Amino acid sequence: MDFSLSEEHLMIRDAARDFARTELLPGVIERDNKQEFPTEQVKKMGELGFLGMMVDPKYGGGGMDTVSYVLAMEELSKVDASASVIVSVNNSLVCYGLQAFGTEEQKQKYLSRLATGQSIGAFCLSEPEAGSDATSQKTTAIDMGDHYVLNGTKNWITNGGTADYYLVIAQTDRDKGHRGINALIVEKGWEGFEIGPKEDKLGIRGSDTHSLIFNDVKVPKENRIGEDGFGFKFAMKTLSGGRIGIAAQALGIAAGAYELAREYSKVRKAFGTEICNHQAIAFKLADMHTSITAARHLVMKAAWDKDQGKNYDMSGAMAKLYASQVAMDVTVEAVQVHGGNGYVKEYHVERMMRDAKITQIYEGTSEIQKIVISRGLLRE
Ligand code: CAA
Ligand code: FAD
């Protein structure tokens, strides 16, 4: 067993770390306050190749492995989880979904723009009445021969207002249940496609979350991904990889908060000594570091499974379940280590605590990860 990273992995990790510190850190508090999308930073991430890391170079991607991707996700998330969720959705839901299951024409037309960051993507599965219970799709895509007519509402869509292309899951044949669901590529600006108001959120406030409304939107047949009825499996297969990205995001939030707490504890004095010399604080650091290391091993194992062509449904779900709990626990303790300063924005950890919570909710709640893991175990 070899736990070392290659030269290339280290280079990618360092490039992401450098970008996070120089480009994301300076405005992160202000963007959180103002709920401002990191437009300039996303543009630069596209230019640097962070938006299509695993895409085949023939479509403009970086051709990297999943281990490289999670290393970058961790570093970006240490500083700005709003920026990293944009990276995660574009890479592991939209680009991966198109690369793995799209037609050559779809890849030429859409993937090459998405992989280079010239365009941004969104993944649209959740609805007001179909979140965890994702097969209960109410949005309909009625087959009209050479096109579908799309009607319905999607909820909570990341990159909802800023995306150019949307992968939309919809029910074509209700009698067939989940086997009657399709995934369609929809472009912003098509007639009948309306973007709802931006959500005012607890965390990841720099990311752009909207509901989307489809009123008789005409979608050409060539924009369907995969065979008729493949849409639900498309969503599930894509989400299995997406969960590795969110697990890496959770890991990064935890690691970022831990690093801040550790450094603070070495300079803040109480009772005549640096607070890290009080065992209660030192033990918090020990617990944080231990759980972060365990989370990192799960994240890396899931990424490695994917790179080795092994099944990663369970390992991705375990990584997300565990890393998101670690993100919550560690950020709460990081605030505690900072005392009163932890409660004010300037010290970052309160934002990290708010950001951590979403990792237990999106791309499948923790309860849903337990369903995926337990079903997998019982199948073995
Ligand atoms: N790969 C391939 N196929 C899969 C699969 C997978 N990982 N998981 C399930 N399927 C297939 C099943 O085999 C089944 O097909 P067959 O009947 O042909 O065998 C079909 O899908 C239905 O599966 P289930 O019977 O298991 O379906 P279910 O209704 O019990 O639900 C679930 C399963 C795992 C709970 C699923 O509904 C789920 O994942 N829910 C959570 C939804 C979710 O994660 N949403 C995230 C939205 S995106 C997002 O959040 C992005 C963001 O924030 C940034
Ligand atoms: P519900 O399904 O109503 O769940 C409510 C509670 O019940 C949860 O605790 C849940 O775990 C629990 N529960 C439900 N069913 C079960 C069960 N069978 N067993 C045990 N417990 C259960 N979706 C997208 O499609 N694309 C996106 O880009 C996207 N981005 C998002 C960004 C943000 C900021 C947020 C908040 C959400 C986003 N989502 C997105 C939606 C997200 O995936 C859903 O919120 C999530 O899947 C949960 O669905 P729900 O909100 O309907 O909760």
CA of 219 to the centre of ligand 1 (A): 24
Yes or no: say if 167 and 106 are a contact pair by the CB < 8 Å rule. no
CA of 362 to the centre of ligand 2 (A): 6
Rounded CA separation 235/165 (Å):
16
Rounded CA separation 336/309 (Å):
42
- The pLDDT of 279-293, averaged and rounded, is 98
Instruction: Note whether 372 and 238 are same-domain residues.
Output: yes
Does 30 reside within a domain? yes
Res. 328: pLDDT tops 90 = yes
Res. 134: pLDDT tops 90 = yes
CA of 135 to the centre of ligand 1 (A): 7
Instruction: Note whether 315 and 205 are same-domain residues.
Output: no
Could you tell me the sign of the dihedral formed by the alpha carbons of 174, 195, 363, 48, in that order? positive
Q: What torsion, rounded to 10 degrees, do the Cα atoms 189, 194, 196, 197 define?
A: 50
Yes or no: say if 135 and 181 are a contact pair by the CB < 8 Å rule. yes
Rounded CA separation 283/114 (Å):
45
The residue whose CB lies within 8 Å of the most ligand 2 atoms, and thus the one to mutate among 35, 132, 208, 214, is 132
Instruction: Note whether 216 and 298 are same-domain residues.
Output: no
Q: Is residue 139 lining ligand 2, measured as CB closer than 6 Å?
A: no
CATH at 184? 2.40.110.10
Q: Is residue 123 lining ligand 2, measured as CB closer than 6 Å?
A: yes
CATH at 358? 1.20.140.10
Instruction: Note whether 63 and 44 are same-domain residues.
Output: yes
Instruction: Note whether 108 and 162 are same-domain residues.
Output: no
Quote the pTM value.
0.98
Instruction: Note whether 247 and 360 are same-domain residues.
Output: yes
CA of 126 to the centre of ligand 2 (A): 8
CA of 129 to the centre of ligand 1 (A): 15
Q: Which residues, 6+ apart, have CB-to-CB distance to 35 below 8 Å?
A: 198, 200, 201, 205, 206
Nearest listed ligand to the Cα of residue 97: 1
Q: Is residue 59 lining ligand 2, measured as CB closer than 6 Å?
A: no
CA of 187 to the centre of ligand 2 (A): 25
Q: Is residue 123 lining ligand 1, measured as CB closer than 6 Å?
A: yes
Domain that holds residue 45: 7-120
Instruction: Note whether 242 and 373 are same-domain residues.
Output: yes
Nearest listed ligand to the Cα of residue 183: 2
Does 99 reside within a domain? yes
Domain count, the chain: 3
Q: Pick the residue whose CA is nearest to atom 23 on ligand 2.
A: 126
Q: Is residue 124 lining ligand 2, measured as CB closer than 6 Å?
A: yes
Q: What is the pLDDT of residues 179-214, one digit of tens each?
A: 999 999 999 999 999 999 999 999 999 999 999 999
Does 2 reside within a domain? no
Res. 250: pLDDT tops 90 = yes
Q: Domain boundary residue among 120, 145, 164? A: 120
Does 1 reside within a domain? no
Does 74 reside within a domain? yes
Q: Band the pLDDT of 1: cuts 50, 70, 90.
A: confident
- The pLDDT of 53-79, averaged and rounded, is 98
Yes or no: say if 125 and 119 are a contact pair by the CB < 8 Å rule. no
Instruction: Note whether 30 and 166 are same-domain residues.
Output: no
Q: Domain boundary residue among 50, 85, 120? A: 120
Instruction: Note whether 224 and 262 are same-domain residues.
Output: no
Least Cα distance to 215 among 111, 286, 140, 275 occurs for 140
Instruction: Note whether 238 and 367 are same-domain residues.
Output: yes
- The pLDDT of residue 2: 86
Q: Is residue 300 lining ligand 2, measured as CB closer than 6 Å?
A: no
Q: Is residue 367 lining ligand 2, measured as CB closer than 6 Å?
A: yes
- The pLDDT of 138-161, averaged and rounded, is 98
Nearest listed ligand to the Cα of residue 206: 2
CATH at 99? 1.10.540.10
Does 152 reside within a domain? yes
Does 13 reside within a domain? yes
Report CA-CA distances (Å) from 216 to 134, 144, 150, 210. 22, 12, 5, 19
Instruction: Note whether 209 and 97 are same-domain residues.
Output: no
Q: Domain boundary residue among 93, 120, 147? A: 120
- The pLDDT of residue 153: 98
- The pLDDT of residue 34: 98
Q: Is residue 364 lining ligand 1, measured as CB closer than 6 Å?
A: yes
Does 209 reside within a domain? yes
Model ipTM over 0.95: yes
The residue whose CB lies within 8 Å of the most ligand 2 atoms, and thus the one to mutate among 126, 165, 202, is 126
Instruction: Note whether 326 and 252 are same-domain residues.
Output: yes
- The pLDDT of 298-310, averaged and rounded, is 98
- The pLDDT of residue 151: 98
- Indicate which atom in ligand 2 lies nearest the CA of residue 159: 28
Active site residues: 363
Q: Is residue 201 lining ligand 2, measured as CB closer than 6 Å?
A: yes
CA of 57 to the centre of ligand 1 (A): 30
Q: Which residues, 6+ apart, have CB-to-CB distance to 142 below 8 Å?
A: 148, 149, 151, 172
Q: What is the pLDDT of residues 2-56, one digit of tens each?
A: 889 999 999 999 999 999 999 999 999 999 999 999 999 999 999 999 999 999 9
Q: Is residue 362 lining ligand 2, measured as CB closer than 6 Å?
A: yes
